[in-house]
């Protein structure tokens, strides 16, 4: 990375443009100088000279779920669809900075969201698993964000004097109000129509279930989608999905603040479900066996979404040359999620519904955005648009959802930073950025030094460690060139939804979870050749064994019993009367038991993402690229050491700790 030359032209416009942005930002009560020590090169040089301002900006975060960055094989018709129908995103781009290579820090929903909220990785905040499939919310192998563990952006901004609010999907802790004696959600909407129930909404508001996470006003329950009315928008005509309600809540909040003379700056998260409803689409939902879901696709969604030749390449991806978990995931998906028939008609409907959902959520975001534009806050608010992760959507030999891979379809997501005063013209940035950069960057845009707040938060948070991401405010404001910010990114996931206490399906027969190694970590870097490379390490993580620990360490508390014991039911459970023969008496159910005491061997993949944007050619064993492999392996070690923090409050059995790191 090269240091910033003050004589060099900024990324967009001249020096007067940058000075104007800083003057108009008009928003930082404290300088960024104290934060500059942890910043690389150009960012630190600029941050150290940031002036103090009188007033801080408001922030509106528009976050959706499972919205991937457009892949290279989208057709011209799909690009035209985006331009015409995704109007909120287009308006944000018109006066915003559009990041072209922004990546999730983890997957899936819950690990990624907790990483966004805390600016840390699952190794520290502990939220590694997504419920659903083989796991439920109260299972012992599901770990939620603790309000007194790692602080959130709500904690940081509230400590800095902001009023902080959350509306919509949260999904980092199990915050639902429950009917006593059950695990049943208390609904805040009419169970027949989906319309908001004002009394229960008021109850949720008064309960302040997210207050200990730094946010006010959350109205649950979580939109898990087990019924149409608890989905984003997959409801029958005349009924209401959750995203409409979330948009109304955020709109009403802005209008309420408009009437309030309080000059306190605010931070609002409006978090939507869609296009996550694509997870509901499958054989059983389409036949009505999973509820009365409505998967209508309107004619304006193109029938030719992808370039046929290029999309056929990814659908024909040879997984035998990739880490073994990928083929296992592709094959087993239909056993622990819904089957998606691999025929052209079914897949066309499935793909089109994903794009319909993008239109649906864009409409709801527009409700919130219009409320902002109609308010006195329009010029003083920075709007952020992003998504927690993407979706494979049939790519890479017809894989679905977002697990067990680090492909761009799953982890590359949109990021737009908007303010019509700061950014009179659109700008795109090709710098590699990560979700863990969001929290320090937002603090930077507000002129908030995170270090004293982080120290303050240690008084009531057990693991308030320094943020591992970068303050990219100078890059956002055009004070440094994109080329001067060239740091590698780190990605990790331990999410294993195919494994858990509920490892059976509609057949009544247990299934094998995705094979090991299926835990992964990646480094994404732009090397000296100017090209973006991605290097991924797959490993078997003993932290998630049935008896976790280090199987080779005699000092481990569980030694020598560190092992992974898996039970699998191999025949269906007999049906209750009158469907089985009561005269037969008790019927034993056969199981298989597998015991593992040694981790599976490590596996790797490596892609030149610039030249091979669909990530088809795994170059890790190609001797022609041995130099790049060695460099990327070294970068992965460095990124792991710097960013894969672990709790300081205690030891997590079996948790991998960075080795060969400087103390």
Do the domain assignments include residue 504?
Answer: no
Query: Range with the lowest mean pLDDT among 163-172, 180-189, 216-225, 290-299?
Result: 290-299
Looking at residues 403-431, what average pLDDT do you find?
98
Instruction: Answer whether residue 650 is part of any domain.
Output: no
Q: What is the C-alpha to C-alpha distance for residues 119 and 110, in angstroms, rounded to an integer?
A: 14
Of the candidates 475, 402, 517, 501, the one whose C-alpha atom is nearest the C-alpha of residue 108 is: 402
Whether residue 621 is contained in a domain is answered as no
In this structure, what token pair is assigned to residue 218?
């959350």
Please measure the distance between the N-terminal and C-terminal CA atoms of the chain and give it in whole angstroms.
24
- What does the block give as tokens for 279? 């997870």
Containing structural domain, residue 74:
15-487
Please report whether residue 111 resides in a domain.
yes
Q: What is the CA radius of gyration of the chain?
A: 25
Going by C-alpha positions, the residue among 116, 142, 150, 147 that lies closest to residue 213 is 147
Q: What is the pLDDT of residue 35?
A: 38
| Predicted confidence (pLDDT) per residue in 531-570, tens digit | 999 999 999 999 999 999 999 888 888 989 999 998 887 7
- Asked, as a colleague might, if the bond just before 175 is cis with ω within 30 of 0, I would say no
What residues pair up with 527 in beta bridges, in sequence order? none
**Cis peptide leading into residue 560 (ω within 30°):** yes
CA distance 290 to 617: 39
Tens of pLDDT along 501-512?
A: 988 776 667 889
Partners of 271 in beta bridges: 63, 168
120: CATH: 3.40.720.10
Longest dimension (CA), the chain: 90
Residue for token pair 């056929």: 312
Asked, for residue 617, whether it belongs to a domain, the answer is: no
* Mean pLDDT, residues 302-331 taken together: 98
470-493 tens-digit pLDDT: 999 999 999 999 999 999 999 999
Task: List 504's β-bridge partners, or say none.
Answer: 510
606 inside domain: no
Please state the domain count of the chain.
1
Span 328-351, average pLDDT: 94
* Average pLDDT over the chain, rounded to an integer: 91
**pLDDT at residue 5 above 60?**
no
Taking the C-alpha atoms of residue 165 and residue 422, their distance in angstroms, rounded to an integer, is 24
Q: How many helices (H) and strands (E) does the chain have?
A: 19, 13
The answer, yes or no, to whether residue 52 has pLDDT greater than 50, is: no
- Averaged pLDDT for residues 119-128: 98
Give the C-alpha separation, 635 to 522, whole Å: 10
Burial class of residue 75 (count of CB atoms within 10 Å of its CB; 0-12, 13-18, 19+): middle
pLDDT (mean) for 11-20 = 50
Per-residue pLDDT at 38 exceeds 50 = no
Burial of 315 per CB tally in 10 Å (0-12, 13-18, 19+): middle
Point out the least confidently predicted range of 43-47, 67-71, 117-121, 246-250.
Answer: 43-47
Burial 123-145 (b: 16+ CB within 10 A, else e): bbbbbbbbbbbbbebeeeebbbb
Residue 363, domain member (yes or no)? yes
Average pLDDT over residues 599-615: 98
- Residue partners of 422: CB distance under 8 A and separation at least 6: 21, 24, 25, 382, 477
Whether residue 48 is predicted with pLDDT greater than 70 in this model: the reply is no
Instruction: Quick: pLDDT tens for 352-387.
Output: 999 999 999 999 999 999 999 999 999 999 999 999
pLDDT tens for each residue of 190-245: 999 999 999 999 999 999 999 999 999 999 999 998 899 999 999 999 999 999 99
Q: Is residue 409, in this structure, part of any structural domain at all?
A: yes
């Amino acid at each position: 990375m090269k240091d910033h030359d003050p004589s060099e032209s900024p990324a967009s416009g001249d020096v007067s443009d940058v000075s104007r942005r800083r003057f108009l930002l008009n928003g930082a009560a404290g300088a960024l100088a104290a934060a500059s020590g942890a910043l690389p090169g150009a960012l630190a040089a600029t941050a150290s000279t940031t002036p103090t301002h009188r007033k801080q900006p408001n922030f509106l975060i528009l976050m959706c779920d499972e919205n991937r960055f457009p892949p290279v094989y989208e057709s011209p018709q799909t690009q035209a669809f985006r331009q015409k129908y995704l109007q909120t995103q287009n308006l944000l781009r018109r006066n915003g900075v559009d990041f072209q290579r922004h990546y999730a820090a983890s997957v899936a929903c819950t690990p990624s969201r907790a990483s966004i909220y805390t600016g840390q990785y699952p190794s520290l905040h502990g939220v590694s698993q997504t419920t659903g499939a083989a796991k439920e919310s109260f299972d012992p192998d599901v770990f939620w964000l603790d309000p007194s563990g790692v602080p959130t952006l709500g904690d940081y901004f509230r400590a800095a004097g902001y009023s902080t609010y959350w509306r919509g999907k949260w999904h980092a802790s199990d915050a639902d109000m429950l009917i006593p004696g059950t695990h049943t959600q208390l609904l805040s909407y009419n169970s027949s129509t989906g319309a908001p129930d004002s009394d229960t909404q008021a109850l949720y508001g008064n309960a302040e279930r997210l207050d200990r996470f730094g946010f006010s006003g959350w109205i649950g329950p979580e939109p898990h989608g087990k019924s149409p009315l608890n989905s984003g928008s997959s409801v029958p005509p005349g009924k209401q999905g959750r995203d409409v309600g979330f948009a109304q809540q955020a709109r009403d909040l802005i209008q309420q603040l408009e009437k309030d003379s309080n000059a306190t700056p605010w931070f609002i998260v409006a978090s939507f479900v869609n296009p996550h409803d694509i997870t509901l689409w499958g054989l059983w939902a389409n036949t009505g066996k999973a509820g009365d879901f409505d998967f209508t696709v309107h004619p304006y969604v193109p029938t030719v979404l992808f370039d046929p030749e290029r999309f056929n390449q990814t659908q024909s991806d040879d997984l035998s040359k990739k880490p073994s978990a990928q083929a296992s995931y592709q094959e087993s998906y239909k056993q622990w999620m819904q089957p998606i028939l691999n025929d052209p008609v079914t897949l066309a409907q499935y793909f089109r519904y994903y794009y319909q959902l993008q239109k649906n959520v864009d409409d709801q975001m527009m409700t919130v955005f219009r409320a902002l534009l109609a308010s006195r806050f329009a010029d003083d608010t920075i709007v952020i648009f992003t998504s927690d992760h993407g979706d494979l959507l049939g790519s890479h030999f017809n894989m679905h959802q977002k697990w067990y891979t680090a492909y761009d379809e799953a982890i590359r997501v949109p990021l737009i930073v908007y303010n019509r005063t700061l950014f009179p013209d659109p700008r795109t940035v090709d710098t590699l950025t990560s979700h863990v950069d969001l929290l320090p960057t937002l603090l930077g845009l507000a002129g908030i030094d995170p270090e004293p707040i982080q120290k303050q938060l240690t008084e009531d948070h057990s693991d308030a460690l320094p943020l591992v991401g970068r303050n990219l405010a100078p890059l956002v404001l055009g004070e440094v060139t994109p080329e001067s910010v060239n740091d590698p990114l780190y990605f990790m996931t331990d999410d294993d939804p195919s494994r858990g206490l509920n490892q059976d399906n509609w057949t009544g027969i247990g299934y094998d979870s995705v094979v090991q190694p299926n835990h992964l970590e990646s480094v994404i870097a732009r090397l000296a050749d100017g090209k973006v490379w991605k290097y991924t390490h797959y490993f078997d993580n003993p932290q998630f064994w049935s008896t976790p620990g280090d199987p080779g360490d005699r000092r481990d508390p569980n030694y020598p019993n560190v092992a992974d014991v898996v039970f699998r039911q191999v025949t269906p459970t007999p049906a209750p009367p009158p469907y089985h023969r009561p005269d037969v008496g008790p019927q034993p159910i056969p199981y298989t038991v597998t015991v593992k005491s040694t981790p599976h061997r490590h596996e790797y993949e490596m892609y030149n993402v610039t030249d091979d944007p669909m990530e088809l050619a795994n170059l890790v064993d190609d001797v022609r690229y041995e130099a790049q492999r060695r460099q990327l392996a070294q970068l992965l070690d460095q990124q792991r050491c710097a960013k894969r923090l672990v709790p300081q409050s205690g030891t997590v059995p079996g948790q991998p700790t960075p080795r060969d790191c400087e103390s």
